[in-house]
A and B are shown apart, each in its own frame.
Chain A
């Protein structure tokens, strides 16, 4: 089933005299239960795209439909409600609240939705089991490793059972071991729990965990790869080939 439908969106920055097209007539769809990676060099517009989908930023033209609702027309409270209930976010720099424990960071996402305390405890327990962070729940962010922090952030993103999880360079601040562990978890969430994940990255290794990779250059879709029945290693090699073709500063990525 089609979950996300992006129709010819455009995003311009600047004034008429010096116009920057961050996104230039971009369209694609994401099916429910998919794990999509979006790749591109710095300045290719991939983060802008994510910001537009996540309603943090507004498109200049075009429409974005999530489950048939046009989110580009949402405003104020409806926008917050949409963000709260339909989306889950994972950021490069974790964005955990440093004054709260891991447990509280996760539960906050639920208490904002005004869920009762009992339900919160059960949900946090379940999600922390899935992500293997039960033993750090009472710790503060500064007491955790980067990998643990990112898994706590992921737990916070999925604990509300969102329709779509958006991840912005989730492995960007992690060492390779932690990154691998996190991506394994993403795959688990995607395949075993049925979460739909859309991930922005410039790292081919990270992208190779996805089922489909969209390459963006200068605000346009440049290429698209589907994993199909390939092993992760084979898929990774195919991604590298495209990245080489793309050239520029992504070519030196892993």
Chain B
């Protein structure tokens, strides 16, 4: 009997709250898809380092899943509490018929159980289907071979999904039971006869609060968007985020109070068609949803920033590689000798003379060069008279670090290899190369602040250009050159060589040949290092950096941020959409009588639907708009933080983000509108 009651209850609410069950199913399937990525990727042909990145991605995603489960649990508890409230009259009926609270609890328990099993079952099936698609995404991001791929199911991910969601549903059951034990028959019975009380807020107070909110938001915007240097601790960042939260809450609070008055003042608009009804409906919805709207708005902020940053990092990584990784490999050799004082000094070394390291047949075109250290040229002296001010402004930088120096002929030889422009420098000049954005800004300020004369190897040189020039020596995945001085060949003291590098291209033509050569090269280097260690302990340090390695780690990093961004983004968008949809649909159910009334006094069906469309639209748009405004400043901050990764062309990433929002959030809007239309449709 109880079972039949539960089943029919579910069937009834399925009609009006399909979107809630839909959300549960999506939640389950998203959870499965992201936890199954490891298993899916195992099907792809990948290199060892890519597998390691997949391992890393797996563990990051599983950590993130705990957080995601928390978000989903909150959403489910919110939704079930919300749906419970709507059933007060039904519970009252059960109680007047003499049903015990334990029985009512049992009904709810059964309902949650049925919904839980149903959503898990459907969600997992959907998830398994979707995860085959996600494999294509993994393959695309890692540029991996999919030919060995076949349909796969991750038992581990299924187990994990069931466990997490079982816990969530268990919480909901506990929660429902507590609510049931606290129910009082009289309040349940009266809850149906609510007469809507329209409390108008004091307009003066609203304006004052709005101004305060604007001031708080303005301050937080300024600090986060235009003064990111000053945010030196996560705590301070949290304070500003907290301010944004409070500001958002106050904005919604005051706007919901003022909106109607402002609209009412425009009589021509207010008394046109169903407008006065529409505006009233929106106003009362926003009024009762101030806190939820705030949460949704902040989630939108996080979603937009996370997704845009993730896409932007990935785009930049791939593009930067082409620019900054212009040769196949770079070998480096550091030869250390201990002087009489027991201090380490560096010795000029020659890579072609390392015993046991034969590069013939592997490396074709190549350039060997050294960089040099002048003990007198540290970051502090390189900044000249600006150093004192810089130390004050940015105390956490390393001012004692030695600056590298390179001979112009070496640099030009390298430039020919890289296919970059060559430089000329007179014997009383130097050129400062730097492309790491923050460091570059620092050097540019130093060069612009009067004196550009620097003493290098005892000679006074002045800057050829009053700005840093683009350029780099080492192979790298992005712009991370922190500063290299290019000087005329005769300036350099040949004995002060620091690190010797050999940068070159493989002789192989195809990717397979190059890969084989790289394997061989790395093996030879390891062998040579071992031989050197045996013969001269702690004296020689061989290193190698290759384009393939850089490429794989960059692609891997790009994939990791993309997946994390997508995971958070999708879950947050679903949560936002579901909260708004539930509220909107329950409002529609409550308003059936009102629409019926409008119909009786002759309102066109199209006007009624139009009113619902505007209501739903504005309801969904409000938090999105404020969230988007927040994101403008949030993205400024994100761009600052992610400078290192390279965040040019943020616009394209934002476009991708907008598309995601349009699909998920817009989808929720559309489904909500269509369901709402079905609900308010005349029952006759």
| A contact set with B: CB distance below 8 Å | 54, 56-57, 77, 80-85, 87, 89, 91, 95-100, 104, 107-114, 116-117, 120, 140-142, 156
Closest 6 pairs (CB-CB, A-B): A84-B602, A83-B602, A142-B195, A99-B280, A117-B271, A98-B196
Contact in complex: A104, B276 (CB < 8 Å): yes
Contact in complex: B277, A108 (CB < 8 Å): yes
Query: Which residue of A has the minimal Cβ distance to B283?
Result: A99
Q: Which residues of A contact B274 (CB under 8 A)?
A: 108, 111-112
Query: Which residue of B has the minimal Cβ distance to A107?
Result: B271
Contact in complex: B600, A111 (CB < 8 Å): no
Query: Which residue of A has the minimal Cβ distance to B605?
Result: A80
A85-B602, A98-B594, A108-B598 are known contacts; what are 8 more A-B pairs with Cβ within 8 Å?
A: A80-B604, A95-B600, A96-B597, A98-B195, A99-B281, A99-B284, A100-B277, A142-B196
Given contacts A83-B600, A111-B272, A142-B197, contact A97 B277 (CB under 8 A): yes
Query: Which residue of A has the minimal Cβ distance to B264?
Result: A104
Of the listed residues B270, B280, B601, B605, the one surrounded by the most CB atoms of chain A closer than 10 A to its CB is B601
B684 contacts the other chain (CB 8 A) = yes
Given contacts A56-B684, A99-B198, contact A112 B276 (CB under 8 A): no
Q: Which residues of B contact A95 (CB under 8 A)?
A: 593, 597, 600
Kindly provide the distance from the CB of A188 to the nearest chain B CB, expressed in whole angstroms.
22
B174 contacts the other chain (CB 8 A) = no
Contact in complex: B273, A112 (CB < 8 Å): yes
Bound Cα distance from A109 to B273, whole angstroms: 9
B152 contacts the other chain (CB 8 A) = no
Bound Cα distance from A65 to B218, whole angstroms: 66
Kindly provide the distance from the CB of A89 to the nearest chain B CB, expressed in whole angstroms.
6
Bound Cα distance from A81 to B605, whole angstroms: 11
Q: Which residues of A contact B276 (CB under 8 A)?
A: 100, 104, 107-108, 111
Bound Cα distance from A232 to B343, whole angstroms: 123
B275 contacts the other chain (CB 8 A) = yes
Q: Which residues of A contact B272 (CB under 8 A)?
A: 111, 114, 117
Contact in complex: A81, B602 (CB < 8 Å): yes
Bound Cα distance from A77 to B274, whole angstroms: 17
Bound Cα distance from A40 to B641, whole angstroms: 80
Q: Which residues of B contact A54 (CB under 8 A)?
A: 600
Q: Which residues of A contact B604 (CB under 8 A)?
A: 77, 80, 112
Contact in complex: B273, A114 (CB < 8 Å): yes
Q: Please pick, from B198, B273, B597, B607, the residue contacting A140 in the complex, using a CB distance under 8 A.
A: B198
Q: Which residues of B contact A80 (CB under 8 A)?
A: 602-605
Bound Cα distance from A77 to B270, whole angstroms: 24
Of the listed residues B275, B597, B598, B605, the one surrounded by the most CB atoms of chain A closer than 10 A to its CB is B597
Q: Please pick, from A100, A104, A109, A117, the residue contacting B601 in the complex, using a CB distance under 8 A.
A: A109
Q: Which residues of B contact A142 (CB under 8 A)?
A: 195-197
B 194-227 contacts with A by CB, 8 A: 195-198
Query: Which residue of A has the minimal Cβ distance to B601?
Result: A109
Interface 1/0 per residue, B165-206 and A, CB below 8 Å: 000000000000000000000000000000111100000000
Contact in complex: B273, A111 (CB < 8 Å): yes
Contact in complex: B198, A112 (CB < 8 Å): no
Q: How many A-B residue pairs have CB under 8 A?
A: 88
Kindly provide the distance from the CB of A90 to the nearest chain B CB, expressed in whole angstroms.
11
B98 contacts the other chain (CB 8 A) = no
Which bucket holds chain B's interface residue count?
Answer: 20 to 34
B395 contacts the other chain (CB 8 A) = no
Bound Cα distance from A6 to B597, whole angstroms: 25
Kindly provide the distance from the CB of A161 to the nearest chain B CB, expressed in whole angstroms.
13
B 365-394 contacts with A by CB, 8 A: none
Given contacts A80-B602, A99-B284, A141-B195, contact A112 B607 (CB under 8 A): yes
Bound Cα distance from A82 to B602, whole angstroms: 8
Q: Please pick, from A56, A91, A99, the residue contacting B277 in the complex, using a CB distance under 8 A.
A: A99
Contact in complex: B601, A99 (CB < 8 Å): no
B 254-279 contacts with A by CB, 8 A: 267-268, 270-277
Contact in complex: A99, B196 (CB < 8 Å): yes
Contact in complex: A84, B273 (CB < 8 Å): no
Q: Which residues of B contact A113 (CB under 8 A)?
A: 602
Bound Cα distance from A140 to B196, whole angstroms: 9
Q: Please pick, from B197, B267, B601, the residue contacting A112 in the complex, using a CB distance under 8 A.
A: B601
Kindly provide the distance from the CB of A201 to the nearest chain B CB, expressed in whole angstroms.
19
Q: Which residues of B contact A84 (CB under 8 A)?
A: 601-603
Kindly provide the distance from the CB of B583 to the nearest chain A CB, expressed in whole angstroms.
16
Q: Which residues of A contact B602 (CB under 8 A)?
A: 80-85, 87, 109, 112-113
Kindly provide the distance from the CB of A12 to the nearest chain B CB, expressed in whole angstroms.
16
Q: Which residues of B contact A107 (CB under 8 A)?
A: 271, 276
Q: Which residues of B contact A117 (CB under 8 A)?
A: 267-268, 270-272
B 586-617 contacts with A by CB, 8 A: 593-594, 597-598, 600-605, 607
Bound Cα distance from A99 to B260, whole angstroms: 12
Q: Which residues of A contact B684 (CB under 8 A)?
A: 56-57
27 residue pairs of the A-B complex, CB under 8 angstroms, read A56-B684, A57-B684, A80-B602, A80-B605, A83-B600, A84-B601, A95-B600, A97-B277, A98-B195, A98-B196, A98-B594, A99-B277, A99-B281, A100-B276, A104-B280, A107-B276, A108-B601, A109-B601, A111-B273, A111-B274, A112-B273, A112-B598, A112-B604, A112-B607, A117-B267, A117-B268, A141-B195
Q: Which residues of A contact B275 (CB under 8 A)?
A: 111
Contact in complex: A156, B195 (CB < 8 Å): no
Bound Cα distance from A97 to B198, whole angstroms: 12
B 485-506 contacts with A by CB, 8 A: none
Kindly provide the distance from the CB of A173 to the nearest chain B CB, expressed in whole angstroms.
14
Kindly provide the distance from the CB of A50 to the nearest chain B CB, expressed in whole angstroms.
12
Of the listed residues B274, B597, B602, B605, the one surrounded by the most CB atoms of chain A closer than 10 A to its CB is B602
Q: Which residues of A contact B270 (CB under 8 A)?
A: 117
Query: Which residue of B has the minimal Cβ distance to A76?
Result: B605
Query: Which residue of B has the minimal Cβ distance to A82?
Result: B602
Kindly provide the distance from the CB of B138 to the nearest chain A CB, expressed in whole angstroms.
51
Bound Cα distance from A89 to B598, whole angstroms: 11
Kindly provide the distance from the CB of A115 to the nearest chain B CB, expressed in whole angstroms.
8
Bound Cα distance from A116 to B271, whole angstroms: 8
Query: Which residue of B has the minimal Cβ distance to A116?
Result: B268
Bound Cα distance from A80 to B598, whole angstroms: 11
Interface 1/0 per residue, B299-321 and A, CB below 8 Å: 00000000000000000000000
Contact in complex: B271, A111 (CB < 8 Å): yes
Q: Which residues of B contact A141 (CB under 8 A)?
A: 195
Bound Cα distance from A140 to B386, whole angstroms: 70
Bound Cα distance from A156 to B603, whole angstroms: 14
Bound Cα distance from A53 to B278, whole angstroms: 29
Query: Which residue of B has the minimal Cβ distance to A156?
Result: B601
Q: Which residues of A contact B605 (CB under 8 A)?
A: 80
Query: Which residue of B has the minimal Cβ distance to A87?
Result: B602
Query: Which residue of A has the minimal Cβ distance to B596?
Result: A95
Kindly provide the distance from the CB of B102 to the nearest chain A CB, expressed in whole angstroms.
37
Contact in complex: B600, A89 (CB < 8 Å): yes
Kindly provide the distance from the CB of B197 to the nearest chain A CB, expressed in whole angstroms.
6
Q: Which residues of B contact A57 (CB under 8 A)?
A: 684
Query: Which residue of B has the minimal Cβ distance to A141?
Result: B195
Kindly provide the distance from the CB of A141 to the nearest chain B CB, expressed in whole angstroms.
7
Q: Which residues of B contact A96 (CB under 8 A)?
A: 597
Query: Which residue of B has the minimal Cβ distance to A95?
Result: B597
Q: Which residues of B contact A156 (CB under 8 A)?
A: 601
Bound Cα distance from A99 to B287, whole angstroms: 13
Kindly provide the distance from the CB of A235 to the nearest chain B CB, expressed in whole angstroms.
31
Kindly provide the distance from the CB of A112 to the nearest chain B CB, expressed in whole angstroms.
5
Bound Cα distance from A234 to B177, whole angstroms: 64
Q: Which residues of A contact B598 (CB under 8 A)?
A: 97, 108, 112
Bound Cα distance from A98 to B593, whole angstroms: 10
Bound Cα distance from A117 to B267, whole angstroms: 7
Kindly provide the distance from the CB of B266 to the nearest chain A CB, expressed in whole angstroms.
9
Q: Which residues of B contact A77 (CB under 8 A)?
A: 604
Bound Cα distance from A96 to B593, whole angstroms: 10
Contact in complex: A56, B273 (CB < 8 Å): no
Q: Which residues of A contact B597 (CB under 8 A)?
A: 95-97
Given contacts A99-B196, A107-B276, contact A112 B271 (CB under 8 A): no
